[in-house]
């Protein structure tokens, strides 16, 4: 397991757990970032925000938030 900010561009991952609590968890859920959601990492240059695709929609996620989302690779 790793955090979303460690995922490579082009990889597909499944959300295992979101470490954040409170309003941020609610906001992430509104964007579709919940347990068992499958994401494709479109862009991760290790500096700025990540861009992920969820069900065909692209979402930018800040590195701090991405570091609180635990994921596993999908093969």
CATH of the domain at 33: 2.30.30.90
Strand 12-18 relative to strand 2-3, pairing: unpaired
C-alpha to C-alpha distance for 20 and 41, rounded to whole angstroms: 20
What is the residue range of 56's domain?
2-73
Tens of pLDDT along 16-27? 999 877 888 888
The total number of structural domains that make up the chain: 1
Residue 68 C-beta-side C-alpha neighbours within 13 Å: 13
Which residue from 24, 10, 5, 12 is spatially nearest to 73, judged by alpha carbons? 12
pLDDT digits (tens, 9 = 90+) for 7-66: 999 999 999 999 877 888 888 899 899 999 999 999 999 889 999 999 899 999 999 999
| Among 64, 5, 26, residue whose Cα is nearest residue 39 | 5
pTM (predicted TM-score): 0.90
């Amino acid at each position: 397991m790793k955090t979303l900010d460690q995922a490579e561009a082009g990889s597909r991952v499944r959300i295992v757990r979101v470490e954040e609590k409170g309003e941020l968890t609610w906001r992430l859920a509104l964007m579709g970032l919940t347990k068992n959601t499958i994401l494709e990492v479109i862009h991760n240059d290790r500096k700025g925000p990540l861009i992920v695709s969820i069900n065909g929609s692209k979402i930018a996620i800040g590195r701090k938030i991405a570091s609180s989302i635990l994921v596993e690779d999908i093969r």
